[in-house]
Structure 1
């Protein structure tokens, strides 16, 4: 008996498993208890069992959604009806800073705090309680609760569910390819951690930034350049953007030379293709096709359109021009790169006839869009919370990139080249934006605009053909 069969035998009945998933989601969202229970880990494990037992994905997500909604509602009711006594209960009586942190978050974002709070670990179980204690309108809370749970449930269930559906395939992967999976996963984690650390270090509060500033002030020429640049950007030199430009431009140039010199798929490309051939399932292919439509021209326009209209209404033509410039630049570079490199795809469906592989346009475009979004959002957040915007952007890009391997229209090296080229454009857009002081984009109706983008993307998927 192999490991997958043993795990399958340990799986509870489908109905009981759905109850467990709903209970975990409820506890994760419940005030007091949710602060102490590792709900994310438990939910991932339960979703993995659901995926391996081949429960319907919609039913699994619905169970998590219902549990999350009930958990927030119970927390809200506790705060609304017992607001004078809640703070005397353990563990809040021992940790009053949790209430203070949640109150600051609620006062900063108002009604939207219920929506955003579900995705922010330190305040997730406290914000509904605070909303009740501060007598938030039950109707407004209900809408924010339902909308946030509708996004939270699939985001937290899908990774574990996908793992469960691929247990058997992962265990049957040949040893050489299994090593490639481990290496690629470790490399991705290292790159993300290094990126997060470097981004923090080269901001004004970082140690590396202070060391470079101290060194620049010791030389007359460098001091004049440093002071001139910081004077135009409210006292901070955009080292993060310059570092991103230098590293991504150098990486893209070197990687493209390697791809051109090989004149065919690299060894890692063939290994990655063999790996995904062992993992492909019909539902995974359907998900890849769906993401392909989200990341094409029509999909990107659907995602961007509500935000562009709002920015124009706010008379923020500068932001519109920077976003349009970034997307236009990456589109032109993708067209030019595909024409110059002329690399064939591993598989070319009819709608991609005549289109070359390198670089991956879906990956590069998603890097630009997610990167610009993360940068604009992070600028409105405190320094300690900015990493959430960037980590979310990285997750979105990775999912889009992997979908290109799932449907077999790109080599792995195409995705790497596309990501590096997208980072070059992101850095250039940021440097242009940071060239002079800008008024903040907040306040912004994030929830309304996000829902509008989702509606337009759903319409694009339903009614327009792939391009």
Structure 2
């Protein structure tokens, strides 16, 4: 982690606010670079007077949105047909499950993009189903910008508020993340139970 912090500091020293945007862009594509380190550190740098708050915010949101569009492109490239074939190959999952998931996304896609940008671990991945679904690019960009703007502003402000103790922001985000991960884990477990029960029933019907 110290190596990541040193790299972010050197990037901000070299490029200023655009360096924050580049770090956030990479954070979207490479999860080992956490936004809960990049943005509070940027907020602390703003508090020191080295960077402008508005510039940091704008560049950070730009990095988030560009990264999201790249992952959207990955989803669009993958396509539903490839995903259906992968689902048929996987254990317990069917191509019809892909269709059901995409129907759900068609119905709740917009709020999913917004709230997904506020959930660690999901923030980047939520862009892929949007690409699979070929969501309208402007709609996708607007919801991504709104969700990313809220998330980025909170973390930048925490770093600004905490000053020399900016690293404490990571602890706050970790606590929030753990609660979210437990909820997501329970949801995944529920789906796993459903898939297993379905497979058992189908096997029994064939017998």
Paired with 1:12 and 1:76, the residues of 2 have a C-alpha distance of 26
Q: Give 1:163 deviation, angstroms.
A: 3.1
What does residue 155 of structure 1 align with? 154
Q: Give 1:63 deviation, angstroms.
A: 1.2
Deviations 1:200-227 (A, max 9, x none): 9xxxxxxxxxxxxxxxxxxxxxxxxxxx
Asked if 2 retains the 8 angstrom alpha-carbon contact of 1:117 and 1:124, the reply is: yes
Paired with 1:12 and 1:74, the residues of 2 have a C-alpha distance of 22
What does residue 78 of structure 1 align with? 74
When normalised by structure 2's length, the TM-score is 0.57
Paired with 2:33 and 2:82, the residues of 1 have a C-alpha distance of 22
Q: Give 1:86 deviation, angstroms.
A: 8.6
In the alignment, is residue 57 of structure 1 matched against residue 56 of structure 2? no
Q: Give 1:24 deviation, angstroms.
A: 2.1
> 1:24–1:120: structure 2 CA closer, same or farther, 3 Å change rule?
same
Match of 1:42 among 31, 38, 49: 38
Larger Rg: 1
Paired with 1:13 and 1:25, the residues of 2 have a C-alpha distance of 12
**Structure 1: segments with no counterpart, 5+ residues:** 1-6, 88-95, 171-184, 194-199, 201-382, 386-467
Paired with 2:143 and 2:62, the residues of 1 have a C-alpha distance of 14
Paired with 2:160 and 2:105, the residues of 1 have a C-alpha distance of 32
Q: Give 1:21 deviation, angstroms.
A: 1.0
Asked if 2 retains the 8 angstrom alpha-carbon contact of 1:80 and 1:129, the reply is: yes
What does residue 183 of structure 2 align with? 384
What does residue 440 of structure 1 align with? none
Larger proportion of helix: 2
The number of aligned residues is 151
Asked if 1 retains the 8 angstrom alpha-carbon contact of 2:76 and 2:132, the reply is: yes
Q: Give 1:78 deviation, angstroms.
A: 1.9
What does residue 65 of structure 2 align with? 69
> 1:86–1:42: structure 2 CA closer, same or farther, 3 Å change rule?
farther
Q: Secondary structure at the match of 1:122?
A: coil
Q: Give 1:128 deviation, angstroms.
A: 0.7
What does residue 312 of structure 1 align with? none
**Structure 2: segments with no counterpart, 5+ residues:** 1-5, 85-92, 185-207
Q: Give 1:17 deviation, angstroms.
A: 3.2
Q: Give 1:70 deviation, angstroms.
A: 0.8
Deviations 1:298-344 (A, max 9, x none): xxxxxxxxxxxxxxxxxxxxxxxxxxxxxxxxxxxxxxxxxxxxxxx
Q: Give 1:108 deviation, angstroms.
A: 7.2
Paired with 2:106 and 2:183, the residues of 1 have a C-alpha distance of 18
Instruction: Say which structure, 1 or 2, has more relative contact order (CA 8 Å, 6+ apart).
Output: 2
Q: Give 1:77 deviation, angstroms.
A: 1.8
What does residue 124 of structure 1 align with? 123
Paired with 1:46 and 1:18, the residues of 2 have a C-alpha distance of 8
CA RMSD between the two structures: 3.8
Paired with 1:110 and 1:12, the residues of 2 have a C-alpha distance of 35
What does residue 26 of structure 1 align with? 25
Asked if 1 retains the 8 angstrom alpha-carbon contact of 2:11 and 2:19, the reply is: no
Asked if 2 retains the 8 angstrom alpha-carbon contact of 1:65 and 1:150, the reply is: yes
Q: Give 1:72 deviation, angstroms.
A: 0.9
Asked if 2 retains the 8 angstrom alpha-carbon contact of 1:14 and 1:55, the reply is: no
Q: Give 1:13 deviation, angstroms.
A: 5.9
> 1:60–1:132: structure 2 CA closer, same or farther, 3 Å change rule?
same
Q: Give 1:141 deviation, angstroms.
A: 1.0
> 1:51–1:86: structure 2 CA closer, same or farther, 3 Å change rule?
farther
Which segment drifts farther, 66-75 or 134-143?
A: 134-143
> 1:24–1:130: structure 2 CA closer, same or farther, 3 Å change rule?
same
Q: Give 1:75 deviation, angstroms.
A: 1.1
Deviations 1:362-393 (A, max 9, x none): xxxxxxxxxxxxxxxxxxxxx926xxxxxxxx
Asked if 1 retains the 8 angstrom alpha-carbon contact of 2:40 and 2:156, the reply is: yes
Paired with 1:149 and 1:39, the residues of 2 have a C-alpha distance of 11
When normalised by structure 1's length, the TM-score is 0.28
